[in-house]
Structure 1
Amino acid sequence: MSANLKQEFIQFAVGAQVIRFGEFITKAGRTSPYFFNAGLFNDGANLGKIANYYAQTLLESGVEFDMLFGPAYKGITLASATAVALANKGRNVPFAYNRKEAKDHGEGGTIVGAKLQGKIVIVDDVISAGTSVRESVELIRAAGAMPAAVLIALDRMERAGKDDELSPHSAVQEVSRLYGIPVIAIANLNDLFECLSSANADASLAQFKDAVGAYRQKYGAI
C-alpha cells in the first residue's frame, strides 16, 4: 500500500479521535500510550471514509477475493461499509456476517447475508487475541469456502501474549502463520510513529513521540 495512503489514514484517524494518546490499559494488561477504537467511526461521513481506506487498501494488495465477511460485532459494519466502497470503485462483491448466537426462527443459523463461497476476506478493526479471526476461519471453512486474507485498520505490531510469556511474534504474525493467509493492514505502528516524528507534526501530537517509541521498543515484534 502506498505510503501516502497510510499517512492519510493515520492523520484521519487521529483527527477523528479514533486514535487517542495518553495512558490506556490494553487487553494484555499493558499501559499503552495510544489507543485505537474503531467504534468511534460512528457517523456516516467518517464511516464512509474508513470504508474507502479499507477498499483501496484491499484493491492495492492484489489479493484475489470473491466476497467479504464481517465478524460480530465491529466487523459487521466495517465489512458492509467496505462492500459499498468497493462497489463505488467498480468492484461489486457480496458480503456476510455472523451472529453471536444462532437464530432459531426465520432463516435461522448464525450467518446473515450472502452464502459463504469462493475466496473470502475477513474484515475487522484490529487483531488482539485473534479469537474473532479463528471463529471466522472455522465458519468459512465449514461452509466449504476459503479464507483469503484478513483486512484490518491498524496493526499494533506488538508481541502477543502476556508480559511473563511473550511471543517473539505479533498477534498479526501469529494469525498469518496459523491460518496460512495474509493479514493486510491499512496502517501500522511504524506509520503512526512516522506521523508523530514528521517535521510537520503538530506539537500537540509530537509530544507523544517518545512514549510511543519507548512502547514500540519494549513490545515491538520482530
Structure 2
Amino acid sequence: MVISKAPDSLAQDFVQFAVDAGVLRFGEFKTKAGRMSPYFFNAGLFDDGARMQRLAEFYAQALLHSGIEFDMIFGPAYKGIPLAATVAVELARQGRNLPFAYNRKEAKDHGEGGTLVGAPLKGRVLIVDDVMSAGTAVRESIAMIQAAGATPYAVAIALDRQEMATENGRDVPHSAVQYVRDQLGLQVCAIAKLADLLQYLESNGTDAMRAHHLRVLDYRQRYGVNA
C-alpha cells in the first residue's frame, strides 16, 4: 500500500482543498461558544460526489499515516453518516476493508428497530466526524458503543480548531480534542489543525491571505491551546 503524501503536505493540500470548495471561509462568524471567529469550516458543503470522494481520501491517508489500529468505523448522526460510509469505501479501495455503522436520532419502531444501523458494533471502534467543538457527539457515541459491548478507541476529524472549549459558558484551558484524548482516553487523528491553516495563510503570498493570517493568528493568541 502506497501513501502518497507526508502528513504536513497532506494537511496543506487539505486546507487548499477546503478553501477551493468554499468549505473553509474567512470573515466574521459566531461560534457555538459565542466567539466571533475569523474563519468558518462547514463540512456540510462537501456536497457532491467528487468532493466527498476527495474528502474520504484525505481521511484515509491521515488514518493510515497515524498508525491507529481499529476494527470498524462509526459515524454519529448526522454529518458522521456519509463520512463513515465514504471513508470505509476509500479504505477498502486502499486494501483495508472494514465494517461500518451509524446511528439514527430517533429509534425505529418497525423492521430491525433501534437506533443503530449497519454492522454490529464490536472490537475497537473509530468514530468519524467533521470537527469537535465540545466533544458532545463523541461522548454520545462512546455511550452507544459501550452499550453495544464494543470499545470506543479513536476519533478521526477533518479539522482540529486547537482552541479552548467552554463549560457552563466559561472558557476552560483545554480544547475538546485534548479532553477527548486526555480525559476520555481516545486517540485523535485530525487531517489538519489550526496551525496548518496559519501556515497556509502565511505562505499564500496574497494581501488578502496575509490579512486573514493576522486575524486568525490574533484569534489563536486569544483562544488557542498549545497542542
TM-score range, shorter chain: over 0.9
Percent identity, aligned pairs only? 61
State the Cα distance separating 1:207 from its structure 2 match: 2.3
Contact persistence 1:28–1:162 (CA under 8 A): no
Give the TM-score normalised by structure 2: 0.94
Secondary structure of 2:40's partner?
strand
Q: Distance in 1 between matches of 2:153 and 2:108?
A: 27
Label 1:81 to 1:164 Cα distance change in 2 as closer, same or farther (>3 A). closer
Aligned match of 1:122: 127
Aligned match of 2:3: none
Aligned match of 2:55: 50
Q: Distance in 1 between matches of 2:169 and 2:129?
A: 28
Aligned match of 1:208: 212
Q: Which runs of 5+ in 1 are unaligned?
A: none
2:101 corresponds to 1:96? yes
Please give the per-residue CA displacement for 1:74-113, whole angstroms capped at 9, x wherever unaligned. 0001110100110111111010000001100000000000
2:63 corresponds to 1:68? no
Q: Distance in 1 between matches of 2:183 and 2:106?
A: 26
The residue type equivalent to 1:214 in the other structure is D
Secondary structure of 2:191's partner?
strand
Q: Distance in 2 between matches of 1:88 and 1:29?
A: 41
Alignment of 1:169-180 (within 5 A): 169-180=174-185
Secondary structure of 2:166's partner?
coil
Across the aligned residues of Structure 1 and Structure 2, the Cα RMSD in angstroms comes to 1.3
Label 1:111 to 1:164 Cα distance change in 2 as closer, same or farther (>3 A). closer
State the Cα distance separating 1:202 from its structure 2 match: 3.8
Aligned match of 1:196: 201
Alignment of 1:15-164 (within 5 A): 15-161=20-166
Secondary structure of 2:68's partner?
coil
Secondary structure of 2:121's partner?
coil
Q: Distance in 2 between matches of 1:77 and 1:164?
A: 31
The residue type equivalent to 2:64 in the other structure is L
Q: Distance in 2 between matches of 1:15 and 1:60?
A: 24
The residue type equivalent to 1:167 in the other structure is V
Aligned residues: 221
Secondary structure of 1:157's partner?
coil
Secondary structure of 1:207's partner?
helix
Give the TM-score normalised by structure 1: 0.96
State the Cα distance separating 1:8 from its structure 2 match: 0.4
The residue type equivalent to 1:211 in the other structure is R
Contact persistence 1:68–1:94 (CA under 8 A): yes
Please give the per-residue CA displacement for 1:174-219, whole angstroms capped at 9, x wherever unaligned. 1112210111100000000000001x44443232010000000000
Contact persistence 2:202–2:209 (CA under 8 A): no
Q: Distance in 1 between matches of 2:133 and 2:84?
A: 18
